[in-house]
């Protein structure tokens, strides 16, 4: 209610309460982001098949190429970044400083690739003791990253809301 001089009664307490609420919301928003980043990171990691060379159900013909988990371990959620007044972001993807081969492998698994011979007329493989020649080899796309992003777009708002409410209640 306005007082005689046109200002609000208890204006300073109202202003302090407003600032405290703003700080509480900012704290909850910032504190929620690591959980969102971890959730999206885990979605992406879960989409990478545990045995990337055996997605067709066929027995392993290249046992030395069984998935080691290296590609999964290169997918990380970065630190929380403030992009403006109360706008926070978390970068999820291949870690900074990842080797070039990690980027290539991620791209090949996501988009697929064709392999052609460079120094010979054909590619040569030894599978179960049998020599096989091929003019080119095609690695089918697995779309692990795009399917994870599609799912993250649907699930992230709820994860963010739950974590925000949890952190909002913890602020003192």
Residues 114-139 pLDDT 10s: 999 999 999 999 988 899 999 999 98
Bridge partners of 90? 80
Please state, for a pLDDT cut of 90, what percent of the chain lies above it: 38
Evaluated on CA atoms 102, 104, 105, 110, the torsion sign reads: positive
DSSP string covering 9-45: TTHHHHHHHHHHHHHHHHHHHHHHHHHHHHHHHHHHH
* More reliable by pLDDT, 132 or 10: 132
Residues 92-115 pLDDT 10s: 988 888 888 888 888 888 899 999
Q: Residue 68 — very low, low, confident or very high, per pLDDT cuts 50/70/90?
A: low
Domain ranges of the chain: 11-97+143-170
Residues 30-47 pLDDT 10s: 999 999 999 999 998 888
The predicted pLDDT at position 50 comes to: 63
Q: What's this model's pTM, rounded to 2 decimal places?
A: 0.70
Q: Residue 141 — very low, low, confident or very high, per pLDDT cuts 50/70/90?
A: confident
**Rounded to the nearest 10 degrees, what angle do helices 144-170 and 100-111 cross at?**
110
64, pLDDT greater than 50:
no
Decide: 82 and 98 in contact? Cβ < 8 Å.
no
Q: Residue 86 — very low, low, confident or very high, per pLDDT cuts 50/70/90?
A: confident
Rounded CA-CA distance 167/30 in Å is: 9
Q: Give the containing element (helix H, strand E) for 145.
A: helix 144-170
Rounded CA-CA distance 108/140 in Å is: 9
* More reliable by pLDDT, 2 or 76: 76
The predicted pLDDT at position 131 comes to: 93
Rounded CA-CA distance 39/161 in Å is: 13
Bridge partners of 94? 75
Decide: 9 and 1 in contact? Cβ < 8 Å.
yes
Would residue 13 be called left, alpha or beta, if left means φ above 0 and alpha means ψ between -120 and 50 degrees?
alpha
């Amino acid at each position: 209610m306005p007082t005689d001089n046109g200002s609000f009664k208890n204006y300073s307490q109202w202003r302090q309460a407003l600032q405290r609420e703003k700080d509480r919301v900012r704290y909850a928003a910032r504190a929620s982001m690591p959980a969102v980043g971890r959730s999206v990171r885990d979605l992406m990691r879960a989409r990478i098949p545990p045995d990337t060379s055996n997605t067709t159900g066929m027995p392993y013909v290249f046992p030395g190429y069984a998935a080691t988990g290296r590609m999964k371990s290169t997918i990380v959620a970065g630190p929380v970044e403030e992009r403006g007044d109360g706008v926070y972001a978390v970068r999820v993807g291949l870690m900074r400083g990842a080797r070039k081969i990690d980027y290539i492998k991620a791209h090949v698994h996501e988009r697929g690739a064709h392999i052609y011979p460079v120094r010979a007329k054909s590619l040569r493989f030894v599978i179960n003791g049998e020599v096989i020649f091929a003019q080119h080899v095609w690695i089918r796309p697995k779309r692990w990253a795009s399917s994870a992003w599609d799912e993250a777009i649907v699930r992230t708002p709820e994860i963010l809301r739950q974590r925000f409410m949890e952190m909002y209640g913890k602020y003192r």
